[in-house]
Chain A
Amino acid sequence: MSGAVRETWSPVSDEYRSVLKGLQETVGACMQCGTCTASCPNGHAMDVTPRAMWRMIQFGMLDRILESRTFWMCSSCYMCTLRCPRGLKLTSAMAALKRLARLDGNRAARRNGAFYEAFMEDVETHGRVQETSMMQRYFLKRKDPALPFTFLPLGVKMLCKGKVHLPSSVHNGVLEPLFAKAREMEGMS
């Protein structure tokens, strides 16, 4: 990212270090059996297998980890978590990797994290997800002018079926105090 060369073995900041430490605790007991990799329905789209990813975490190979698209391909299906003979919370580890990449904030992270962020911003604003406004936020974040058009046929179909609704403002702001408090506690602005 941005031209800066990072050392593979050295965590960058305190925030990184703490997320990485949590991750290392989560997957520390991995014995590299590969059950997680074999269970993953999205493995074909990953550049690093889940098993190898846990190894890289154990070694603290931050650069390699952050370059990978593996964790963005996780659809939170929990198959690996269910099957891991060591009982490791692997789906949570994938989510923590997504948070780590958000801290890093490179282009791939902004693109791949756009949906989650749009979703959460909408929740913060409306209290409940309003599908139309959430999708608008998502399109804006992706900054890809062609993207809305790929969803257009579906949008039209849903409109015809009466599945598109105007945003309701009944719960606007209800969750703002919670979000503000959590941000304060998690040390993010």
Chain B
Amino acid sequence: MRYAYYPGCSLMESAREFDVTTRAVMERLGCELIEIPDWTCCGASAAEPVSRLMNYALPARNLAIVEQEMEGLDVLAPCSACYLNLLKVNREVVGDRHLHGQVNEVLAASGLHYRGDVTVRHLLDVLKTDVGAKIAEQKVTDGLKGMKIAPYYGCQILRPYPVFDEPGNPTSMEPFIRAMGGEVFEWRMGNRCCGASLMMGHPEVAIESVAAILADAEGADAIATVCPLCQMNLEAYQARAVKEGGKPVPVLYLTQLMGLALGLDRETVQLEKNLTMTAKVREDMATRAWAMPEPETGTGAAGVTDQPQEKGASHV
């Protein structure tokens, strides 16, 4: 399985661990990701408030390149905002003759043209539909036994276009969490908006959403996300959100958790990049603290697989 890979700007900047783990996990699952040559920003959710045309032309430029140079490949986007923007071109531009003409007129300024033949997929769609949790399970070397993981889908991945899952009650991450040996943490906030870029201009409003999400995640060992903005909002503002009633919870990319279970090395999984990775959380991860029997027994708890370095460390 080969895909035209669209990392998006965040994955080149503050969310590099998402990029690195996506590439590594997909490779391990037998998918080949070929980065779209010379891709540019999709406009995120900032383009539409500034220019209607650029909101479509920015993502269309990337699809035009795929259509021209990577014929037949589906686009794979790990970021939810990138995914929606690219998908929007196919849903809202293609089929609207007037708008399609306008967008191509803009693209023509760079010698490009988009017919509308490229299929856009989210990472989670490819995992669910093309790979399947069974295949992932077969490759697990070091399961996350007993780890309670709260799947967080956020907004734009299934709204307004619910392509591969049910937007009111999404479940597509769950088979993968179980395949990794983890437990699905039941909660209600999995599809609640994190506030997105409202965090920039009106943090007091966005913090309320983050606090509500983090409060509902109480008891989970980690939140799994598939969007760099969700990850950033849920993680970077935790201290403030805790004051508003949230609970501190590590926020990891689904691909990082999968990377751990698939036995990728530490440099690849890059847990230390996450702001919520305190020494305590790292140690819990390393010792699989949540798999230990309730009262703290000594060493050698059942289900702990080989963890060379930090296993000996006494856990608090």
Contact = CB atoms under 8 A, between A and B. Distances in A.
Contacts of A113: 49-50
B163 interface: no
Interface in A66-109: 72-73, 75-79, 81-82, 89, 91-92, 95-96, 98-99, 102
Contacts of A116: 46-47, 49-50, 197
A42 B54 contact: no
Contact of B109 (A72, A150, A177): A177
A127 interface: yes
- The interface residues of chain A, by DSSP majority, are classed as helix
A188 to B, nearest CB: 8
A123 B43 contact: yes
A114 B206 CA distance: 17
Interface stretch (B8-16, B218-226, B255-263, B279-287): B8-16
A154 to B, nearest CB: 5
A99 B50 contact: yes
Contact of A73 (B49, B105, B162, B202): B202
Given A77-B159, A185-B106, A128 B49 contact: no
B52 interface: yes
B201 A76 contact: no
B106 A181 contact: yes
Interface in B199-226: 200-203, 205-206, 208-209
Interface stretch (A9-17, A55-63, A160-168): A160-168
Contact of B58 (A72, A95, A123, A163): A123
A45 interface: yes
A75 B61 contact: no
A72 B41 CA distance: 23
Contacts of A130: 13
A30 B192 CA distance: 24
Q: Which of B16, B40, B108 has the most CB of A within 10 A?
A: B40
A127 B109 CA distance: 15
Given A95-B49, A102-B50, A116-B46, A129 B160 contact: no
A170 B281 CA distance: 37
B275 to A, nearest CB: 6
B197 A75 contact: yes
A180 B46 CA distance: 18
Interface string B71-103: 000000000000000000000000000000010
B195 A75 contact: yes
B38 A158 contact: no
A41 B195 CA distance: 8
A174 interface: yes
Nearest to A123: B41
B44 interface: yes
Contact of A111 (B41, B201, B272): B201
Contacts of A44: 205, 208
Interface string B247-291: 000000000000000000000000011110000000000000000
Given A73-B198, A99-B52, A112-B201, A182 B106 contact: yes
Given A79-B193, A131-B14, A72 B160 contact: no
Contact of B52 (A45, A129, A186): A186
Q: Which of B14, B41, B49, B162 has the most CB of A within 10 A?
A: B49
B22 interface: no
A64 interface: no
A81 B160 contact: yes
A120 B200 contact: no
24 contacts: A42-B198, A42-B205, A73-B198, A73-B202, A75-B206, A76-B156, A76-B197, A78-B159, A79-B193, A95-B52, A95-B55, A99-B51, A115-B197, A115-B200, A116-B50, A129-B41, A168-B12, A175-B40, A175-B61, A178-B106, A178-B107, A178-B110, A180-B109, A181-B109
Interface of B: 9-10, 12-14, 16, 38, 40-41, 43-55, 57-58, 61, 102, 105-110, 155-156, 159-160, 162, 167, 192-193, 195-198, 200-203, 205-206, 208-209, 236-237, 272-275
